[in-house]
Structure 1
Amino acid sequence: MQVEAPVITLDGPGGAGKGTVSTLLAERLGWQFLDSGALYRLTALAAMNHAIDMTNESGLAVVAEHLDVSFLQNDGRTVIMLENDDVTESIRSEKVGSNASKVAAFSRVRDALLKRQRAFAVMPGLVADGRDMGTVVFTQAELKIFMTATSDERARRRVAQLLASGVNADFEQVKADIEERDERDMNRKTAPLVPAEDAIELDTTEMPIEAVVRFIEQEAKARGLMS
């Protein structure tokens, strides 16, 4: 009989720190890691590459169903390949992120990616990062965290990230983009961005990354998910 793998979900808006925290947590636990947002970004980028409009739900669903993607490990980092091209950096652009939010609003696209996401839940366990991991994809998860932070703080973090990558960024524009995406994600009809009823809500505005990771580790230990 197949044993159901334990799952920890980390949901919340962009810039709350989910990606960094979930990656560190998965490494410490020795569990699988799912960056669900990458799948939506990859779908958006593939659609952009094939000149499919972001309002074309049928076309976007076909792209999601036939997504040619692979995640490769290389010297301690994950390399993301789309149609044999390394897109690890390009999927993190603001344009792709904005289009990923539009793509994610379509139920047919979400349905196409649902099975692929659930397949990541294998032993010894899974840390899943996204926007509807606890509310839709892994409703049975033993521990659900909903991370957030003020839009000012999330914009500050994003600008710092872009500058570190050698990309100039305007704080006010980045903040406006974040707030626009929040509005779209929270008010979409399909799987809106909301905390699961049994999620722990965690404001990371003034919390260092290590403090967030320790908090989640303590919650995981309390539930018998780690020693």
Structure 2
Amino acid sequence: MSYSIAIDGPAGAGKSTIAKKIAKKLNFIYVDTGAMYRAMALFMIQKQVDREAEELIGTICKEADITIVYENGEQQVILNGSNVTKLLRTEEAGKMASFVAKNKNVRKKLVDLQQKMAKTTDVIMDGRDIGTCVLPEADVKIYLTASSKERALRRYKELVEKGVTCDLDEIEKDIIARDEQDMNREVSPLKKAEDAILVDSSNMTIDEVVERIIDIFRKKMK
């Protein structure tokens, strides 16, 4: 029998960081759904497809083969045979991913891959619609959030550490706009599943959030 944990929430809530730590502690496979969408976005950028060209995106996505492998305990994302892991965190890929993720054909292709993984192994996945669409039968569903100001501050610190010049107010505006877009898209909008447990990480450390979710999982499994 395999177990699954679904973590949903808005951009910058710390979903990926927390899901990866939980995966290591519970010995689960971390399936980075966001990275899969970013890889698809990267594919569209490489093909010079306009982000508004919905029909073309829906057709051409069938040419993208995206897989996740682990090398030395680190996740690597493979797009059509090439390791694209280091190219996924650019702002361009992030913005394109929001458009790509709205496409029904793209979602169907990637959701099929994700559901197959969950049937055969213990997985933890994070994204916008894991508990509502991808893993509606997940053993534990978490809706992880934080204030837009706190999420902007985290992103700001991350960029400054990388030597990127940025504006905190602009980052917060982008985050609010992204929330609006994700919550109001036609296909699989961001929303809290009815049976998901809300965890607000605004005033919590990463480790506190990790322990809180593991505690929820263990109590549920009892």
| TM-score of the two chains, using structure 1 as the length reference | 0.91
1:69 counterpart (66, 71, 80): 66
Q: Is the 8 A contact 1:155 1:178 kept in 2?
A: yes
Q: Deviations over 1:23-50 (max 9, x none)?
A: 0111111111111111111111110110
Tell me if 1:131 matches 2:102: no
Which deviates more, 196-205 or 64-73? 64-73
Output the CA distance in 2 between the equivalents of 1:220 and 1:150. 24
CA distance in structure 2 between the aligned counterparts of 1:23 and 1:200, rounded to whole angstroms: 19
Is it true that 1:100 corresponds to 2:101 in the alignment? no
For 2:78, which of 75, 78, 81 is the aligned residue? 81
- Which residue, out of 184, 189, 195, partners 1:187? 184
* C-alpha displacement of 1:123: 4.6
Give 1:24's aligned residue. Answer: 21
Within 2, Cα distance between the matches of 1:39 and 1:61? Answer: 16
Match of 1:120, SS state, is helix
What amino acid does structure 1 have at the position aligned with 2:22? L
Deviation string, structure 1 residues 70-117 (Cα, Å, up to 9, x no partner):
434333322223244432232111221111111111222212221011
Secondary structure of 2:88 counterpart = helix
Give RMSD over aligned pairs.
1.6
Structure 2 distance, partners of 1:10, 1:126, is 11
Deviation at 1:194, TM superposition (A): 0.5
Aligned-pair identity in percent equals 36
Match of 1:173 in 2: 170
- 1:157 is aligned to 154
**1:197–1:6 Cα change, 3 Å:** same
Q: Which amino acid aligns with 1:90?
A: L
* Code of the aligned partner of 1:221: R
Tell me the amino acid that sits aligned with residue 171 of structure 2: V
Q: Which residue of 2 aligns with 1:110?
A: 107
Deviation at 1:66, TM superposition (A): 2.6
Question: What are the ranges of 5 or more consecutive residues in structure 1 without an aligned counterpart?
Answer: none
5+ residue gaps, structure 2, are none
Matched residues in 2 for 1:124 and 1:84: separation? 23
What is the rounded CA distance, in whole Å, between the counterparts of 2:160 and 2:116 in structure 1?
A: 35
Aligned to 2:45: 48
Number of equivalent positions: 222
Q: Aligned equivalents of 1:113 and 1:75: distance in 2?
A: 25
* DSSP 3-state at the match of 1:115: helix
Matched, 1:218 2:211: no
Secondary structure in structure 1 of the residue aligned to 2:221: coil
State how far apart, in whole Å, the 2-side matches of 1:193 and 1:110 are.
14
1:146 maps to 2:143: yes
Aligned pair partner of 2:193 in 191, 196, 199: 196
Q: Is the 8 A contact 1:57 1:109 kept in 2?
A: no
TM-score by length of 2: 0.93
